[in-house]
Amino acid sequence: MGINRVVITGNLTRDPELRSTSGGMSVLKLGVAVNDRRKNQQTGEWEDIPNFVDVTIFGARGEALSRFLSKGSKVAIEGKLRWSQWENPQGEKRSKLEVVADEIEFLSSRDGGSGGGNSAPVVSPDGGDDLSGEEIPF
């Protein structure tokens, strides 16, 4: 048995793309920029180097999240890595590694500011609507 878990935090690089499979399942595609810190060998200064990660969210959860996320949103994502391979129309083999999200947490408030306070929407595991605020029954 192997362990396949990943946790990333970063900002969306583009607006999410919501599509549907031929069977009707919703698929939400995100791009997330995650910074890595490295020391520049020539200047001796520390620099932020971005890594760009593709993220996929399936089902009703993806539909619900598409209403709240936009380019620049800060998120934390937990999921698993998935590798895929295909051939492009020119006959070249292509592959990519992406994150299939199991959990997502909003780190930006609805008005676009950062902070992760109570104003960030919470999406239930079954893909239901915003559960923040007074709708929570406890």
Q: Coil, strand, or helix at residue 133?
A: helix
Give pLDDT, residue 116: 43
Write the CB contacts of 112 (distance below 8 Å, at least 6 apart in sequence). Answer: 72, 73
107 DSSP assignment: -
Whose tokens are 């698929």? That residue is 27
Q: Looking at 38-131, list the stretches that DSSP marks H as alpha helix, in order from N- to C-terminal side.
A: 60-66
CB 26 within 8 A of CB 65: no
pLDDT tens track of the chain, all 138 residues? Answer: 799 999 999 999 999 999 999 999 999 999 999 999 999 999 999 999 999 999 999 999 999 999 999 999 999 999 999 999 999 999 999 999 999 999 999 998 765 544 444 444 444 444 444 444 444 443
Question: Is the distance from CB of 28 to CB of 14 less than 8 angstroms?
Answer: no
d(CA 131, CA 136): 6
φ, ψ at 25 (rounded to 5°): -80, 135
- How do the domains of the chain map onto residue ranges? 6-37+47-130
The class that CATH gives domain 6-37+47-130 is mainly beta
